[in-house]
Amino acid sequence: MSTVAANPEIPWTWLMLRTTGIVAIVLLTVSTVIGIASPAIRSPKVRLVTISLHNAAAATGVVLLLGHVVFAIVDSYVSISPLAVVVPGASDWKPLWVGVGTVSFDLLLLLLITTLNRFRAPRMWKAVHLVSYALLALAWVHALAIGSDAADLPLRVTALVGLAATAVALVFRQSRRAPDRPVPATRVEEFV
Ligand code: HEM
């Protein structure tokens, strides 16, 4: 990326499209990993810090993602209409893989809207929050399928580290799950 940055031939909009996409996907991955692990943290103080980090990483990731889609529209090399930001397949350029990014973006919008209304519809928020897994997986497929840096080691290693961290967070959460309450012996007889 550094040699590319120094090359005046490379349009700055393309550099910004790639940079905002990469930083956004890293922040969304960090936010997801923290979001998975934080409910399993027992200390209320530590949990408060992790939830704040989760929100901060998600919010910053969303802002950078908005920059990413704006640069995707502005950049002259790829012809992407504003419609392609929310309608999968509407992009003239690589409609399938940009479309995968669009589906991910739409899921993020859904997650954002339910988060902003979570006090009015907490159950809906909790259920919809599960789409974050699909959102992230689709975003990484999109990035690795069409990204200019997809063939480079740093982005591939980042994807692997993100995947491993997500797996570790899921195992940590599962290991901290309160064991299902054993049914008291007396009651068992009632069912037999
Ligand atoms: C959650 C949604 C999305 C995320 C996290 C995301 C992230 C990324 C990442 C990390 C790359 C690879 C950049 C590189 O290799 O340098 C990329 C490439 C790209 N994305 Fe997205 N993207 C998303 C949605 C979209 C949408 C909705 C559009 C279009 C409307 C879009 C347009 C593009 C384009 C044109 C490229 C190729 C840029 C290049 O590397 O030359 N992305 N995206």
69-88 confidence digits (pLDDT tens): 999 999 988 889 999 999 99
Ligand 1 center from residue 192 Cα (angstroms): 58
pLDDT at residue 150 tops 80: yes
Residue of 19, 27, 68, 76 with the most ligand 1 atoms within 8 Å of its CB, for mutation: 68
Residue of 14, 17, 65 with the most ligand 1 atoms within 8 Å of its CB, for mutation: 17
CA nearest to 138, candidates 115, 174, 173, 111: 111
d(CA 27, CA 14): 20
Give pLDDT tens digits for 27-51: 999 999 999 999 899 899 999 999 9
Ligand 1 center from residue 98 Cα (angstroms): 7
Q: Which two tokens stand for residue 118?
A: 């979570």
Domain coordinates in residue numbering, the chain: 12-176
Cβ of 143 less than 6 Å from ligand 1: yes
Cβ of 136 less than 6 Å from ligand 1: no
User: Contact 151/19 with Cβ under 8 angstroms?
Assistant: no
Ligand 1 atom closest to the Cα of residue 61 is 5
Q: What pLDDT is attached to residue 29?
A: 98
Q: What pLDDT is attached to residue 180?
A: 54
Q: What pLDDT is attached to residue 78?
A: 81
| Rounded to 5°, angle at Cα 139 from 109 and 99 | 75
Q: Which residues of 85-107 are buried (b: 16+ CB within 10 A; e: fewer)?
A: beebebbeeeeebbbbbbbbbbb
User: Contact 34/53 with Cβ under 8 angstroms?
Assistant: yes
Q: What pLDDT is attached to residue 179?
A: 56
Put simply, whether the predicted model's pTM sits higher than 0.85 gets the answer yes
Q: What pLDDT is attached to residue 77?
A: 80
**DSSP 8-state code for residue 179:** P
Kindly report the average pLDDT of the chain as a whole number: 90
Cβ of 78 less than 6 Å from ligand 1: yes
For residue 189, what pLDDT band results from cuts at 50, 70 and 90?
low
Give pLDDT tens digits for 87-135: 999 999 999 999 999 999 999 999 999 999 998 999 999 999 999 999 9
d(CA 184, CA 59): 46
CA nearest to 33, candidates 63, 58, 62, 65: 58
**Identity of residue 35:** G
- The Cα-based distances of 150 to 159, 186, 191 in angstroms read 10, 60, 57
